[in-house]
Structure 1
Amino acid sequence: MKLAWIDTRALGDLAAAVIEEAVHIGVDGFVSDNPALLSIVPPSRRKVALVLPETPKTVADDLAEIADLLLLDHTLVGQFTPARPEAKTGVFVAVTGEETLSIACEWAAKSEWTLVEFLQDPSKIPLEILLGATDKAEGTLISFVTDLADATVTLGVLERGPDGVLLAPTTVGDASELVRICAGGTEKLELQELTITGLTHLGLGDRVCVDTCSHFKQNEGILVGSYATGMILISSETHPLPYMPTRPFRVNAAGLHSYCVGPNNRTRYLAELRSGSEIFGVDTDGNTRVITVGRIKMETRPMLLIEAVSPTGGKVNVIAQDDWHVRALGPGGSVHNITELKAGDKILGYTPTDQRHVGYPIREFLYEQ
């Protein structure tokens, strides 16, 4: 969980509404150079006062009285201190080139709180340098972001990003989305042991290979199924194959009609996936992560109907390419060539209870068979 901060300085008439929203949905820090505006932030949230070289001394003194965290421009460190003993002091650095980047690295390595704004260019290389230089620092690093898309990118720099981001909202709703982005992570799914009940060789059909921008682990794949209420875990091509190299970015998934699982509890048809689509990679422990689709390959192949049943009697149906190198994952990370499955074998699957409409869970009568 990363820290979500909002910059209230340019909110204008939106200030009251945005602050109310941000307090309600769990924004951690409210940054301002206006003591009156900070005073309306409730004590349950962090009041972050920003003092810059152009801040009048009388205003800076008022900010020091109210702040939970007093952030001083690096040129002002030592000139102001918080009035309350429990309040903290931090440093702000605007990075405009190599010299100020070095200053940011020095302060972030020793300061309890550091706020950095990168102004010299839109690349993330200066942030990469800062993160690398302060890898073992114990303080908290917050970075300005320009918009919600930039927040997503910033938090992924060097796979770990800063400890939080600061966004200036432009409308009500931005704060909620920022908190969602900062929450990060994905849900863990409760996988079940499914029992194979039947296999049927079918005629030709169109199967989909999902090629992703990620390197799968050997106990990882994607969930696919003909029914929204029952899917099996199909392995990635991380296990050796004859006549060809492994392709650890690929899952030879299932027929084009099949569901797969993605973020926000939404399913997608395999045929709907495109370059840039997001789906869940799922391992045999039920851990999930968001994976970006690089492309899909849809080709006509002989198909195999795999039928299974869950411990509660739910029916699961997957139609995949009828080829032994398509593999399902089972308990303990076991790997099963689908053409060698037989009645009674155990594989792993997921049996959500919600039916779906355009991928979203719904509460209405819907029956699939």
Structure 2
Amino acid sequence: MKLAWIDLRGLDEPLAVAEEAAHVGAHGLLSDDPAVLGALPPSVKRVGMAADGGDPAALAEVADVVVVDHRHAPARRDDDSGVFVRVDDHASLDVACDSAGRPGWTLIDFTDPTKIPLEIVLAAADGTQGRTVTLVHDLEEAQIVVGVLERGSDGVLFAPRGVGETTELMSLLQVATPKIDMSPLEVAAITHVGLGDRVCVDTCSHLGPDEGILVGSYAGGMVLVSSETHPLPYMPTRPFRVNAGALHSYTLGPENRTRYLSELGSGSELLAVRTNGETRRVVVGRAKIETRPLLRIEARSASGTAVDLLVQDDWHVRVLGPEAEVRNVTDLKPGDELAGATLTDPRHVGYAVREFLLEK
């Protein structure tokens, strides 16, 4: 998870915001007032801001980290040292790049609304011991900053307007996605079922050769459907696309919530899943629904869970095996093994619920 520093300066009720921040797991609380820092709980990092007029000596008595203007940076820096840089031209960008590569903390305020300067700083600091915290002005900017160059800034400094916004920020920064316990599924039967509507999911990401999305007719189990990353005859590869399945099917999104393929559209979020169970969020750029012949795949897990999938009845639609083998759906036969996952709880509007539910 990315670091969250909360700026308490200028708030009418800084200690109320601090209490909320500590409760929801914020990593640092920043102030230029030694009295405020001294009243903070020891469970959070107390950051003293001396770069904009605070007294470094007074702050050092109560703060875990004291941030000073880069022009007053100590010759030797460690985890107790922080440097502030406002990047508004090429010279200050060079300073930020140099500082971000050194041990300790670099707090940066980028005046350029684009994220090009941040990309340059992150590239310059890649592989070093330095840690960067980027000042953000709202929650939308925070989400962008943590994803720049795929790894993003180590953390953000956010100034909430009051109680509540820190909770929103911490929820947003939960960028890690869970690893899924993948299960080999054995094909039990293959049936040609005639025409139906199927969904191609075009993501905004380049999917890997062992990566796809989980799809199934039942919420209790899903098959890992491959992206069109692998070469096909007569057409170019489309590594962003998953020819996923019939429009009634479930797929898995963030926060362990299922979505119907029919619900997906531009801007929707899904989990891309690898055969080893690693996941990441991907954004849907487009969903294409077209009428095609359909093929039904019936499978079972080792524990006996029934898994059902309807896909386009076409050779170029592929699913993955447990070892990332690429299997054309029209070549499947009983006894073949597929990569998949079984989910323990039934679903209501996508959420896991504890109630009786039979799907067949």
TM-score range relative to shorter protein = over 0.9
Counterpart secondary structure, 1:204: strand
One-letter amino acid of the structure 2 residue matched with residue 88 of structure 1 = D
- Shift in Å, 1:118: 1.1
Equivalences for residues 1-369 of structure 1 within 5 A: 1-13=1-13, 15-55=14-54, 59-77=55-73, 88-119=80-111, 121-369=112-360
CA distances 1:140-187 after superposition (whole Å, capped 9, x unpaired): 111111122211111111122221111112243332333344342211
**Residue 309 of structure 1, CA deviation:** 1.1
Conserved? CA contact 1:49–1:63, under 8 Å? yes
RMSD: 2.0
CA contact (8 A) 2:299 2:308 kept: yes
In the TM superposition, residue 44 of structure 1 has moved relative to its aligned partner by 2.1
The CA distance in 2 between the partners of 1:145 and 1:350, in whole Å, is 38
Supply the AA of the counterpart residue of 1:339.
Answer: T
Shift of 1:53: 4.7
Aligned-pair CA distance for 1:78: 5.5
Amino acid in the other structure paired with 1:3: L
Distance in 2 (CA, whole Å) between partners of 1:287 and 1:182 is 19
| Partner Cα separation in structure 1 for residue 235 and residue 147 of structure 2 | 33
Amino acid at match of 1:129: I
Question: Any gaps of 5 or more consecutive residues in structure 2?
Answer: none
Q: Within 2, Cα distance between the matches of 1:42 and 1:89? A: 20
- Helix, strand or coil at the partner of 1:323: coil
Partner amino acid, structure 2, of 1:28: H
Q: Secondary structure at the match of 2:173?
A: helix
The amino acid across from 1:48 in the alignment is: V
TM-score by length of 2: 0.94
* Distance (whole Å) between structure 2 residues aligned to residue 240 and residue 109 of structure 1: 41
The residue type paired with residue 46 of structure 2 is: K
On the 8 A contact 2:82/2:106 being kept in 1, the answer is yes
Cα distance in 1 for residues equivalent to 2:210 and 2:126: 30
C-alpha separation between the residues in 1 aligned to 2:73 and 2:234?
65
1:288-323, Cα deviation, whole Å (9 max, x unpaired)? 111111101111011111111111111111111111
Whole-angstrom CA distance in 2 between matches of 1:180 and 1:155: 13
8 A contact 2:221–2:305 mirrored in 1: yes
Cα distance in 2 between the residues matched to 1:292 and 1:78 = 43
When residues 167 and 53 of structure 1 are mapped into structure 2, their CA distance, relative to the original with a 3 A threshold, is closer
The number of aligned residues is 360
**Secondary structure, in 3 states, of the residue corresponding to 1:332?**
coil
| Counterpart Cα distance in 1 of 2:95 and 2:209 | 44
User: How many angstroms apart in 2 are the aligned matches of 1:179 and 1:345?
Assistant: 43
CA gap 1:53/1:336 in 2 versus in 1, 3 angstroms? closer
Q: CA distance change for structure 1 residues 12 and 52 in 2, over 3 Å: closer, same or farther?
A: same
* 1:136 positional shift: 3.8
The alignment-based identity, stated in percent, is: 54
**C-alpha distance in 2, partners of 1:283/1:108?**
33
How many Å apart are 1:365 and its aligned residue? 2.0
Is the 1:164–1:182 Cα contact (8 Å) retained in structure 2?
Answer: no
CA contact (8 A) 2:56 2:66 kept: no
Q: Secondary structure at 1:331's aligned position in 2?
A: coil
- TM-superposition CA deviations, 1:90-140 (whole Å, max 9, x none): 211112222222222233233521111112x21111111222222343121
Q: What amino acid does structure 2 have at the position aligned with 1:7? A: D
| Cα distance in 2 for residues equivalent to 1:284 and 1:53 | 50
Q: 1:324 to 1:69 in 2, by over 3 A?
A: same
Given that 1:89 and 1:112 are in contact with CA atoms closer than 8 Å, whether structure 2 keeps it comes out as yes
Task: Please state whether the residue corresponding to 2:21 is helix, strand or coil.
Answer: helix
1:272 is displaced (CA, Å) by 0.6
Q: Select between 200-209 and 171-180 the one with higher mean Cα deviation.
A: 171-180
Task: Return the alpha-carbon distance in structure 1 between the equivalents of residues 74 and 304 of structure 2.
Answer: 69
CA contact (8 A) 2:48 2:66 kept: yes
Contact 1:53 1:75 in 2 (8 A): no
Q: Is the 8 A contact 1:53 1:76 kept in 2?
A: no
Which deviates more, 242-251 or 172-181? 172-181
Q: Which moved more, 1:130-139 or 1:189-198?
A: 130-139
